[in-house]
Amino acid sequence: MSNSTLPTKQRDHIEAPVLGGLGESVARPDGTLKVTGDFAYSSDLWADGMLWASTLRSPHPHARIKSINIAPALKINGVSAVLTHDDVPGSKLFGLEIVDQPVLAFDTIKYHGEAIAIVAADHPETAKRAAQAIVVEYEILEPVVDADYAISGKAPIIHVGGNITRHVPIIFGPQNLKADVVVKGEYEVGMQDQAPLGPESGLAIPADDGGIDLYLSTQWLHVDRGQLATVLGLPPEKVRLTLAGVGGAFGAREDMSMQAHIALLAMRTGKPVKIVYSREESFFGHVHRHPGKLRYEHGVTKEGKLVYVKANIVLDGGAYASSSPAVCANAACFAVGPYEVESATIDAYVAYTNNPPCGAMRGFGAVQTGFAYESQMDKIAETLGMDPIELRLKNAMVRNSLMPTGQPVDSAAPVAEILEKLRDMPLPPLTTTTDGFDVIELPGGASNVTHGEGVRRGIGYAVGIKNIGFSEGFDDYSTAKVRLQIINGEPVVEVHTAAAEVGQGLVTLKGQIARTELGVQRVVIRVSDTQVGSAGSTSASRQSYVTGGAVMTACRAVRDEVLLYAMEKLGHLHPHLLHFRANYKMINGEIRDGEDHLVSSLADLVKDRVFECTREYRHRPTTPIDPITGQGLPHAQFAFAGHRAVVDVDIETGMVKVIEMATVQDVGKALNPQAVEGQIEGGTAQGLGLAILEEILVVNGKVKNPSFTDYLIPTVLDMPPVRSIILEYADEHAPYGLRGVGEAPTISSTPAVVAAIRQATGLALTRVPVRPEHITSTI
Amino acid sequence: MRLTCTVNGKVETIDDVWPGESLLYVLRERMGLPGAKNACEQGECGSCSVHLDGILVCACLVAAGQVEGAEIKTVEGLAGATDLHPVQQAYLDAGAVQCGFCTPGLIVATVDLLEKNADPSDSEIREALAGNLCRCTGYSKILDAVRLAAVRLEGAGKH
């Protein structure tokens, strides 16, 4: 442990009780702090003598740096340090999968907003002005801004090794099959932003041992630590991270943003350094969802059975790799959707360009393909004159259907049931457009742009598939330390992991698991930090599964040790303990035998002993995919969800009002039903956002709308009621049968909304987000 | 400059305020009240909603100098000594809190709504909260929370 004290407001544990076990809608232990304003996010921390940091970023997407003059910044009163790449003591590069991104730019700028220099000063405004005072001389270069062009072989090379960051081919089943009907389509997905409300922020405190303590928002403490150690030139044990309150993530915090910058400034100045990005900087400071072009060809029989799917997918990864290679694999693996097909020929590429870097966002490659394959399914249904649900039912995956990778889906795959339930849910009434209508209910709302004459109702369906957990042979594990002791006569369990709580409710679930497994009332959740082993990333919908599994395993190890101790102490009174230990349980603070007779209270048995176990948990192993054929067993678990969207579209103004979203999702086992609903409703909203609102506009490499004024996320007026049905088909491979919940709702939400707009308007609509001018055909 | 104002019923005097600072900065960084949040700092997200002389405002859009002599109420001033404000309790019970970054602003805006309109319709709730962005919940449970708070406040005869 370091010798530094916690920053003001940072907590080291959450004391509030988790009042319930698995399967109950238990309230969040951090909830009271969050509603009173006392929950300390990474932007709320404070330390004595603290300095503020600011970043200088490139105004150009592609340029050579001829010189950087920091002297004017250093002259400003209150400025303590100005650092450039020259001041990085260790590796000048970082990256999740490919180490290619400069901590601070040197030689060339590769995207608009790339960090060049950092400043520490006594006031955030001083730091900002000092950053702007730095003089950089650029030689402006032509940016490569089109992914197709970037990989055409004709474009300038952006990174040594070429502009194809990864190509994932999949060749499944017999090739070159003929089909009765061939349906082709080309689709485009815009660049979506995660837009978590909490800005990137953190506090770095230099320690007396030459190391550093960081309190910040992230999705994966240990991968940050590993990258920071190489950048700072420190052994990992001297880089200690503690999770501060995280204001949402959705993939945006999987890569480093401000981490290395505040660490470098703190080590240089010997003082605590805090940074809080503005919203504008946040848009430049994290990776986005990959925009993509997806070209599809489906061959089907007259009866509507898929014969083959051919797909060519090109994703724009932007200037640096981030998690592009894994996103590309996901796009390829999920290119067909939750359908059986005899033959698949897929080529997915992710390209380097001079656009903003793209990486993880909720849905991770499966969102882009989800829009394309579901658009294709509707187009096939229309071509065949078939009901779109009927077409999907004819091709729906079932248990043991094969993925295009050849991997069997060896647990529940209730695709048909999802579709049938969506179809059978009651529909919302038509918005009244005769006497007594309320203009608020019409597209355009309070803007009062229609009295309903051009308003058309549309209904659309979509279903999607997504993997849970890291893939392609990655050693995907989590660690939990569980301690049982008696405090004031009462058994108390403490759970400690490094898993990032980003709002999803893992902090509640850890407590529910401990209560259920160990039969105690009081569970204390330690704030996550690097003093315990890695939990892996809060992404890929994996934490309930993997960290939940680790807490379960560590709790069972503690229970086993307690029972062994009971044998030692009480075996003479309870001879069955010796041979039938498994029949004994811990419940309500007591140990009871198979006939429910009291053996001992935990308080009486444990006394002043401490039982503590640390355990790792892994999901079942996956394998890499073959680089030529794409065949393998790359995934640990699959999740399925579907949506039905009901929209009103004003064909005169192009305004869309989504009236209702209905959704059905299999969650294996709803361990906290209220939290599960929250994930489903929130994921649905982000899919709706991509369908009709959200896009980072990049023109010739420059970001045009880095603000919440110009980048529109759904408001409460945009988001309709969500009607959800939760299915619980336990996955026999997963802890408690659970299936990761977070991402599946973002896959099918987008295509369902667009399908509904198509039905209302009769337009083809091959690009998301659909904007009003696409509907009024003014462009 | 020196700034004197009343925050959550307590008179506060702060020295060395730079006139360009926002009320949000003063609350968060000079008064130790980080409940109002800094998600956009341009009045688009409502995360920094506070009451200024009884009017709901985005604290990021108010210059520090404008609050001289004013009365400010923040999310930190809502709960009683032992009990949460019914709106706070309703947000918890409805499951309307995930990451929680939007929560303080939404709670202040909901208190403002229910003070003016004890029994709002869904469309009145939506209109009143349209200036508060939430990225986690999809708003369903926020609407539930507002309805629940309205019922409880009515039951408690608070209007």
Q: Check CB contact of A677 with chain B, cutoff 8 Å.
A: yes
DSSP structure class, residue A199:
P
Closest-CA residue in chain B for A504? Answer: B98
Residues A629-680 pLDDT 10s: 999 999 999 999 999 999 999 999 999 999 999 999 999 999 999 999 999 9
The answer to whether residue B126 neighbours chain A at the CB level (below 8 Å) is yes
Whether B44 has its CB under 8 Å from any CB of chain A: the answer is: yes
User: What's the rounded mean pLDDT across residues A539-564?
Assistant: 97
The Cα A123–Cα A117 span in angstroms is 17
Does the pLDDT of residue A3 top 60, yes or no? no
Shortest distance between the Cα of B154 and any Cα of chain A, in A, equals: 21
- What per-residue confidence (pLDDT) applies to A582? 83
Chain B stretch 60-89, residues whose beta carbon is closer than 8 A to a beta carbon of chain A: 74-76, 78-79, 84, 88-89
- Cα separation, A31 vs A672, in Å, equals 15
What type of residue is A703?
V
Q: Do B38 and A43 touch (CB under 8 A)?
A: yes
Strand order in the sheet with A656-666: A455-468, A637-650, A656-666, A722-727
Please judge whether B138 and A38 are an interchain contact, meaning their C-beta atoms are less than 8 angstroms apart: no
C-alpha distances out from residue B144 to A401, A458, B48, Å: 40, 27, 22
Handedness of CA A141, A142, A147, A152 (dihedral sign): negative
Cβ under 8 Å to B: A residues 157-216: 194-199
A628 touching chain B per CB within 8 A: no
CATH of region B3-76: 3.10.20.30
pLDDT, residue A1, reads 43
A702 pLDDT more than 90 = yes
Touching check for A246 and chain B: CB below 8 Å?
Answer: yes
Q: Where are the beta strands (DSSP E) in A5-134?
A: 13-14, 51-57, 63-69, 79-83, 93-94, 101-102, 108-109, 115-121
C-alpha–C-alpha distance, residues A154 and A506, integer Å: 48
Q: Which pLDDT score is estimated for A594? A: 87
Tell if the CB–CB gap between B98 and A503 is shorter than 8 Å. Answer: yes
Contact A677 B141 (CB under 8 A): yes
What is the mean predicted confidence (pLDDT) over A36-63?
A: 97
A743-772 mean pLDDT: 98
Please answer whether residues A306 and A338 qualify as being in contact, where contact means their C-beta atoms are separated by less than 8 angstroms.
Answer: no
pLDDT digits (tens, 9 = 90+) for A248-307: 999 999 999 999 999 999 999 999 999 999 999 999 999 999 999 999 999 999 999 999
Residue identified by tokens 């190890």 is A557
Q: What is the pLDDT of residue A9?
A: 87
Say whether pLDDT at A685 is over 50: yes
What are the residue ranges of helices labelled H in A188-258? Answer: 221-232
Q: Nearest residue on chain B to A685, judged by CA atoms? A: B138
Predicted model pTM: 0.97
Comparing A434 with A5, which gets the higher pLDDT? A5
pLDDT digits (tens, 9 = 90+) for A78-107: 999 999 999 999 999 999 999 999 999 999
Alpha helices by DSSP H, A464-599: 506-518, 543-570, 576-579
The answer to whether residue A435 scores a pLDDT higher than 70 is no
B34: chain A residues, CB-CB within 8 Å: 9, 37, 40-41, 43-44
Domains and CATH numbers, chain A: 43-141+199-246+253-285 (3.90.1170.50), 292-471+624-775 (3.30.365.10), 477-618 (3.30.365.10)
What is the distance between the alpha carbons of residues A389 and A386, in angstroms, rounded to a whole number? 9
pLDDT exceeds 80 at position A397: yes
| Mean pLDDT across chain B | 96
Q: Do B103 and A715 touch (CB under 8 A)?
A: no
Q: List, for residues B75-116, the tens digit of each pLDDT value.
A: 999 999 999 999 999 999 999 999 999 999 999 999 999 999
What is the pLDDT at residue B158? Answer: 54
User: Of A318, A339, A338, which Cα lies nearest the Cα of A395?
Assistant: A339
Sort strands A181-189 and A767-768 into parallel, antiparallel or unpaired.
Answer: parallel
The more confidently predicted of residues B19 and A173 is A173
- Contact yes or no for A195 and B76 at CB 8 A: no
Q: And the tokens for A531?
A: 């003093």
Residue A431: band (very low, low, confident or very high) from pLDDT cuts 50, 70, 90: confident
Read off the pLDDT of residues A14-46 as tens digits, 9 standing for 90 and up. Answer: 877 777 889 999 999 999 999 999 999 999 999
CA distance A111 to chain B (A): 23
Percent above pLDDT 70 for chain A:
98
Tally Cβ neighbours within 10 Å of residue B68.
11
Suggest the residue from A197, A277, A289 to mutate for an interface test with chain B (most B CBs closer than 10 A): A197
> d(Cα A667, Cα A739) in Å, to the nearest integer?
5
Instruction: Tell me if B99 and A247 make a contact (CB, 8 A cut-off).
Output: yes
In the block, which residue shows the tokens 């951090």? A30
Q: Which residue of A has its CA nearest to B102?
A: A197
Partners of residue A717 in chain B, C-beta under 8 Å = 126-127, 130
The yes-or-no verdict on residue B159 having pLDDT over 60 is: no
Interface contact A713-B123, CB threshold 8 A:
no
**Same topology between domain B3-76 and domain B86-155:** no
What does the block give as tokens for A387?
């009901």
CA nearest to B35 within chain A = A37
Q: Where are the domains of chain B?
A: 3-76, 86-155
Average confidence (pLDDT) over A374-398: 98
Which of A26, A35, A122, A278 should we substitute to test contact with B (largest number of B Cβ atoms within 10 Å)?
Answer: A35
Q: How confident is the model at residue A779 (pLDDT cuts 50, 70, 90)?
A: low
Predicted pLDDT of residue A432: 63
Position A434 pLDDT exceeds 60: no
Question: Which one-letter DSSP state was computed for residue B30?
Answer: I
Q: Given this model, what pLDDT does residue A446 score?
A: 85
The CATH superfamily of B86-155 is: [2Fe-2S]-binding domain (1.10.150.120)
Contact A144, A110 (CB under 8 A): no
